[in-house]
């Protein structure tokens, strides 16, 4: 959408937490008489810009008494301290050594005790226990505190048991790596699968039989299909397709397998599928299994399904179109779980994948619609509309079809309900949208209103089609708000030459009370449609920037006029620069040749002549 802008050479910077505004533009040089006036104008402009920024960038609420309240953000500028930050106490040599070696301070019980009789500290044990040498041998037997003894013994025993448990745990983990997990004999839980197709197929069949219980004879059914050179009744070559049909058909039971075994079982099945030339039919079946609920792990089922589908996706070559079905399965799982953050980093590759896989328009449209639905399920309105529009662009060759009409209406509804979407030119440029003029004239009329008309015309439309909005599940409040904002943007664009918009004119166009005009202007500024300043004293809005909803011939003529003005200004500047350059060259030549010396004064190199004629003053040119 086109805009017109009126800004300073260097924009202000703000720290709203401190209510601080910084103007990097230098002050113009003025005489002493006008200096105070210049400073007052600059300060007034900074204050107005700060107030405008507070009204547009900070949350505004209305108190019960009707007053507006602004919540300031966290300050960004660090204010200086009154005193310097104290220096950290330097560590001693021992503290540095202990920190390096990981030595912790010991608990100091003390080797001394206080002798009440002597009134001094004596040793608890060892040399001179309990008394001095001069007073006799002292007490050689000391009573032990039973509570402290039990505590010390318990801590020692627990410490020994903990160390033993840690050793046993390491041994169990080592054995777990070397042996199969419980309940899954001869089936290692590894992503890297090795072994012959026949051996691995039989292992998976046995596991599926155990999972289904008595009566399952899947292993007996696939044994005659497996090659075995030692047995004459076996075929010379394994019928891998027939074996996989039986295995994949019975693998739906895996969704109820224990969580610790589910990933490994599917990894083995994926490895077996990769051994055939055309795995498409089997991959589609696995994707359908993964989109179904995993009953054994309701909480972690989504993560397990995405992990298995990601493994399947990455095992296929990058240019293999089979990846298309796997990606659809991944998007379906994300849609049902609302885990949009998992898919978002991969969205940048979607268009590249569509080209690499050489998808038809119908296949690409199905993929884009799936991504749009997943985004809508996660309340990602912008992404949902973006991929819905990409899907709509794939059907422009058949713009009059029923599918194109339904997608066009769906995209139009999403654009109207999106409170941040104001530019409808991306829709009007599509043939399928233009075809609505014949198939659904009311929808085409509604779109035309939001492209170029105002709020009053929209009210007339609602009166003429009173049941259209509720019948098509259109939110009237959202549409009214959007149309008021677009009407205000059109008013600002039409009054761009005067740069002022009275409150009364805004209130009349929006059909709102005058006291609500400022709130509507602030909402419109937040939406990015206009920029400017509010003047409560003059009851008018000063326009800095406005948005044209439709860029017609009038706007092109305005652009051409401004470009011509800039061109003329630059031509004048270039002429002045050339004149100054020529004069500078002449002065240098005069200095070198010694010309221009008057009144008998000698030649002074690299110095201006004292009696040289006064230089002409440069012509000041104002650039708009």
pLDDT in tens, 79-91: 777 788 788 888 8
pLDDT at position 369 over 50: yes
pLDDT at position 359 over 60: yes
pLDDT at position 403 over 70: yes
Q: Which of 167-181, 243-257, 422-436 has the lowest mean pLDDT?
A: 167-181
Is residue 101 very low, low, confident or very high in pLDDT (cuts 50, 70, 90)? confident
Burial category of 598 from C-beta neighbours within 10 Å (exposed 0-12, middle 13-18, buried 19 and up): exposed
Is residue 135 very low, low, confident or very high in pLDDT (cuts 50, 70, 90)? very low
Q: How far apart are CA 374 and CA 343, in angstroms?
A: 9
Burial category of 372 from C-beta neighbours within 10 Å (exposed 0-12, middle 13-18, buried 19 and up): buried
pLDDT at position 609 over 70: no
Q: Which of 238-242, 306-310, 529-533, 546-550 has the lowest mean pLDDT?
A: 546-550
CB 450 within 8 A of CB 424: yes
Residue 30 to residues 9, 27, 33, 37, 368, Cα–Cα distance (Å): 19, 9, 8, 10, 63
Report pLDDT for 261: 83
Task: Kindly calculate the radius of gyration of the chain based on its CA atoms and give it in whole angstroms.
Answer: 42
pLDDT at position 322 over 60: yes
Separate counts of helices (H) and strands (E) for the chain: 25, 10
Report pLDDT for 190: 37
Report pLDDT for 132: 45
Q: Which of 192-201, 247-256, 497-506 has the lowest mean pLDDT?
A: 192-201
Q: Which of 135-149, 218-232, 422-436, 586-600 has the lowest mean pLDDT?
A: 135-149
Burial category of 341 from C-beta neighbours within 10 Å (exposed 0-12, middle 13-18, buried 19 and up): exposed
Report pLDDT for 146: 67
Query: Is the backbone of residue 79 left (phi > 0), alpha (psi -120 to 50) or beta?
Result: beta
Report pLDDT for 235: 81
- In the block, tokens 């339904």 appear at 406
To the nearest whole number, what is the mean pLDDT of the chain?
Answer: 80
Task: List 541's β-bridge partners, or say none.
Answer: 501, 534
pLDDT at position 110 over 60: yes
Q: How far apart are CA 317 and CA 319, in angstroms?
A: 6
Report pLDDT for 7: 55
* Phi, psi for 75 (deg, rounded to 5): -60, 145
Does residue 189 or residue 312 have the better pLDDT? 312
- Which one, of 304, 198, 186, lies nearest residue 254 by Cα? 304
pLDDT at position 444 over 70: yes
Q: What percent of the chain has pLDDT over 90?
A: 25
534-577 confidence digits (pLDDT tens): 998 899 999 888 877 766 666 677 778 878 888 889 999 999 99
- Which one, of 210, 220, 216, lies nearest residue 243 by Cα? 220
Q: How far apart are CA 307 and CA 313, in angstroms?
A: 10
Task: List 2's β-bridge partners, or say none.
Answer: 548
Q: Which of 175-189, 240-254, 412-426 has the lowest mean pLDDT?
A: 175-189
Residue 431 to residues 305, 396, 403, 426, Cα–Cα distance (Å): 40, 6, 13, 11
Q: How far apart are CA 460 and CA 509, in angstroms?
A: 14
Report pLDDT for 189: 36
Both structure tokens of 348: 């940048």
Q: Are strands 531-535 and 500-502 parallel, antiparallel or unpaired?
A: unpaired
Q: What is residue 399's three-state secondary structure?
A: coil
600-611 average pLDDT score: 48
Report pLDDT for 595: 52
pLDDT at position 131 over 70: no
Is residue 29 very low, low, confident or very high in pLDDT (cuts 50, 70, 90)? low
Q: What is residue 306's three-state secondary structure?
A: helix
Give the number of C-alpha atoms closer than 13 A to the C-alpha of residue 490, restricted to the C-beta side. 21
Report pLDDT for 331: 93
80-109 average pLDDT score: 82
Both structure tokens of 51: 């107030």
Is residue 350 very low, low, confident or very high in pLDDT (cuts 50, 70, 90)? very high
Report pLDDT for 624: 39
* Phi, psi for 260 (deg, rounded to 5): -70, -15
pLDDT at position 239 over 80: yes
Report pLDDT for 388: 94
pLDDT at position 436 over 70: yes
Q: How far apart are CA 285 and CA 266, in angstroms?
A: 12
Q: Which of 16-25, 70-79, 225-234 has the lowest mean pLDDT?
A: 225-234
Report pLDDT for 120: 85
Is residue 459 very low, low, confident or very high in pLDDT (cuts 50, 70, 90)? very high
- In the block, tokens 């009440």 appear at 116
pLDDT at position 111 over 80: no
Report pLDDT for 54: 84
164-221 confidence digits (pLDDT tens): 776 666 555 544 433 333 333 333 333 456 678 888 888 888 888 888 887 778 888 8
Both structure tokens of 486: 């677009």
Q: Which of 142-146, 362-366, 569-573 has the lowest mean pLDDT?
A: 142-146
215-229 average pLDDT score: 83
Q: How far apart are CA 39 and CA 30, in angstroms?
A: 10
Report pLDDT for 172: 55
Both structure tokens of 374: 């997943």
Task: List 115's β-bridge partners, or say none.
Answer: 120
239-254 average pLDDT score: 87
CB 23 within 8 A of CB 46: yes
């Amino acid at each position: 959408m086109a805009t017109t802008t009126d800004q300073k050479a260097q924009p202000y910077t703000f720290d709203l937490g401190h209510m601080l505004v910084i103007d990097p533009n230098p002050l113009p040089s003025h005489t002493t008489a006008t200096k105070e006036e210049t400073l007052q104008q600059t300060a007034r402009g900074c204050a107005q810009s700060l107030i405008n920024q507070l009204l547009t960038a900070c949350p505004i609420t209305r108190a019960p008494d009707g007053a507006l309240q602004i919540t300031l953000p966290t300050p960004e500028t660090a204010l200086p301290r009154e005193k310097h930050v104290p220096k950290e106490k330097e560590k001693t040599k021992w503290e540095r050594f202990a920190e390096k070696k990981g030595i912790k301070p010991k608990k100091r019980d003390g080797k001394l005790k206080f002798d009440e009789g002597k009134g001094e500290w004596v040793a608890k044990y060892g040399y001179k226990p309990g008394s001095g040498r001069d007073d006799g041998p002292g007490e050689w037997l000391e009573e032990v505190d039973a509570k402290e003894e039990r505590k010390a013994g318990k801590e020692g025993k627990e410490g020994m048991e903990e160390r033993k448990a840690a050793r046993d745990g390491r041994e169990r983990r080592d054995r777990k790596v070397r042996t199969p997990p419980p309940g899954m004999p001869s089936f290692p839980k590894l992503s890297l699968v090795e072994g012959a197709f026949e051996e691995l197929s039989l292992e998976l069949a046995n596991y599926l039989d155990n999972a289904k219980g008595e009566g399952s004879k899947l292993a007996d059914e696939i044994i005659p299909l497996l090659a075995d050179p030692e047995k004459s009744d076996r075929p010379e070559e394994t019928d891998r397709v027939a074996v996989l049909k039986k295995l994949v058909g019975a693998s739906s039971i895996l969704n109820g397998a224990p969580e610790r075994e589910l990933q490994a079982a599917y990894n083995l099945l994926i490895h077996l599928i990769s051994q055939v030339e055309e795995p498409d039919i089997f991959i589609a079946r696995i994707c359908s299994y993964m989109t179904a609920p995993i009953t054994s792990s309701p909480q972690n089922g989504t993560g397990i399904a995405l992990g298995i589908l990601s493994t399947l996706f990455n095992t296929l070559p990058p240019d293999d179109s089979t990846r298309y079905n796997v990606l659809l399965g991944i998007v379906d799982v994300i849609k049902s779980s609302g885990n949009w953050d998992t898919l978002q980093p991969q969205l940048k590759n979607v268009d590249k994948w569509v080209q690499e896989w050489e998808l038809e328009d119908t296949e690409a449209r199905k993929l884009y619609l799936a991504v749009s639905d997943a985004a809508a399920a996660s309340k990602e309105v912008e992404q949902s509309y973006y991929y819905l529009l990409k899907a709509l662009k794939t059907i422009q060759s058949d713009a009059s079809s029923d599918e194109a009409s339904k997608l066009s209406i769906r995209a139009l509804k999403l654009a109207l309900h999106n409170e941040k979407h104001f530019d409808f030119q991306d829709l009007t440029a599509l043939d399928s949208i233009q075809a609505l003029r014949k198939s659904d004239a009311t929808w085409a009329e509604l779109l035309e209103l939001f492209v170029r008309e105002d709020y009053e015309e929209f009210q007339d439309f609602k009166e003429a089609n009173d049941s259209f909005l509720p019948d098509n599940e259109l939110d009237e409040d959202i549409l009214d708000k959007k149309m008021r904002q677009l009407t205000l943007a059109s008013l600002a664009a039409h009054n761009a030459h005067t740069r002022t918009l009275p409150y009364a004119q805004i209130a009349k166009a929006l059909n709102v009370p005058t006291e609500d005009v400022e709130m509507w202007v602030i909402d419109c500024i937040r939406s990015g449609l206009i920029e400017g300043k509010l003047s409560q004293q003059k009851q008018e809005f000063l326009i800095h920037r406005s948005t044209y909803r439709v860029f017609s011939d009038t706007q092109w003529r305005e652009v051409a006029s401004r470009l011509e003005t800039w061109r003329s200004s630059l031509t004048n500047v270039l002429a002045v620069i050339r004149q100054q350059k020529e004069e500078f060259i002449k002065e240098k030549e005069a200095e070198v040749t010694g010309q221009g010396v008057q009144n008998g004064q000698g030649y002074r190199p690299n110095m201006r002549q004292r009696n040289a004629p006064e230089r002409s003053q440069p012509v000041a040119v104002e650039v708009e």
